[in-house]
Amino acid sequence: MSDATQPSFLVVHPTGNTYVRNDLQALHEAGRLAEFLTGLGFSRESFWANLPGPAGLRAELQRRAYDLPRNLISSRPVRESVRLLAGRAGLAGLTRHESGWASVDAVFHALDRAGAREVLRQRGTPAAVLTYEDGAEQTLAAARAAGWTGVYHLPIAYGPYARKIFQDEAERLPEWAPTLQGDRDSPEKMARKERELELASVVICPSQFVLDSLPATVRAAKACHLVRYGAPPLPAKVTADPRDQDPNRPLRLLFAGALSQRKGLADVFAALRLLNCPRDVELVLLGRPCAPMEFYRAQQVPFTYEPPRANA
């Protein structure tokens, strides 16, 4: 049941990843979701979520479906659709980091501009915006001008703080530097992160590490909240694999995530080189490669590679 004394939220995010979906669910259940503004996205009850066609297309559309009523979702699909198609067609120029018309940054910035316009359109309505890193500056500026509450969800370490870590890692392990990616961000992108943080009235961090990455002046001046990520409950039917009872079976380690030193993969390989691998330890890597597969094979640690999977 909505509390009339509490503001309703405009949520702005182009792709709707897992934590955004949980934010949406919580706000909707509390009756405080006014609108979700996204790139390519639609309600699970809509025609698009059930469009017939090739299995690959249906799977991609299902990834962009939300458990929300149709009237709560507004889409700006063109740039995000081009980004997805360009990736499949090998049109790297369109998606080039920061500069491409359909790059991730361009998609975020275009939706940020749309969020600002939406705030100005509803200027007289007491409300709040929930925004996310790299796509918040103009929406937060419009919210401040309209007297709305501007909430900023920072999912990873604050940009300038993280960049120092990347630089240190690149010096320690130069061969892994290309996988870090965050050290490629331009000074303008770093400045934009600083402006976003300055414009926010409330900052949400998912871990103590992220909270500690904020400048001390920001933590002293703003409402900065630690809201830890949760985890879904285990399925009701989980059965043990009889092979797990075999004392001669190697210990299986699963690394899930981008195959990058951002995730510490170089240190996983270094640790396993100290062990009897693969006789005692079996490594499975699941995620998006950030370098040619030959680079990972050259680490002299046997592993099984699995491509990315849907969260479910």
Residues of the chain with pLDDT > 70: what percent?
Answer: 92
**Is a pLDDT exceeding 80 seen at residue 59?**
no
Is the pLDDT confidence value at 6 over 70? Answer: yes
What is the predicted pLDDT for the residue at 48? 64
Q: How far is residue 88's CA from residue 179's CA, in Å, rounded to a whole number?
A: 21
As to burial, measured by CB atoms within 10 angstroms (0-12 exposed, 13-18 middle, 19+ buried), residue 132 is buried
Q: What is the dihedral of CA 284, 285, 287, 292, to 10 degrees?
A: -140
Q: Name residues whose C-beta falls within 8 Å of residue 174's C-beta, 6 or more positions apart in sequence.
A: none
Residue with tokens 């002299």: 300
Mean pLDDT of 116-125: 86
- Report the distance separating Cα 7 and Cα 108, nearest Å: 24
d(CA 63, CA 56): 11
Give the Cβ contact number of residue 71 at 10 Å: 8
What letters, b where the CB count within 10 A reaches 16 and e where it falls short, cover 111-127? bbebbbebbeebeeeeb
Query: What letter represents residue 294's amino acid?
Result: E
> Which of the residue ranges 48-57, 80-89, 123-132, 221-230 would you say has the lowest mean pLDDT?
48-57
Give the type of residue at 10.
L
For the chain, what is the largest distance between any 2 Cα atoms, rounded to a whole number of angstroms? Answer: 69
Residue 242: pLDDT over 80: no
pLDDT at 3 over 60: no
8-226: CATH number: 3.40.50
- 89 close to 108: Cβ distance less than 8 angstroms: no
pLDDT of residue 80 exceeding 70, the answer is yes
Within 10 angstroms of residue 211's Cβ, the number of other Cβ atoms is 19
Tokens of 308: 């990315």
3-state class (DSSP) for residue 162? helix
Instruction: Identify the top-confidence range among 92-101, 239-248, 293-302.
Output: 293-302
In this prediction, residues 278-303 reach a mean pLDDT of 92
CATH 3.40.50 occupies which residues in the chain? 8-226
- Residue 243 — very low, low, confident or very high, per pLDDT cuts 50/70/90? low
- What would the pLDDT profile of 154-205 be if each residue is shown by its tens digit? 999 998 899 889 999 999 999 999 998 766 788 899 999 999 999 999 999 9
Q: Is there a cis peptide before residue 278, judged by omega within 30 degrees of 0? A: yes
Confidence of residue 50 (pLDDT cuts 50, 70, 90): low
Compute φ and ψ for 286, nearest 5 degrees.
-125, 115
Buried b (16+ CB within 10 A) or exposed e, 83-93: bbebeeeeeee
Query: Which of 258, 257, 311, 304 lies closest to 282, judged by CA?
Result: 304
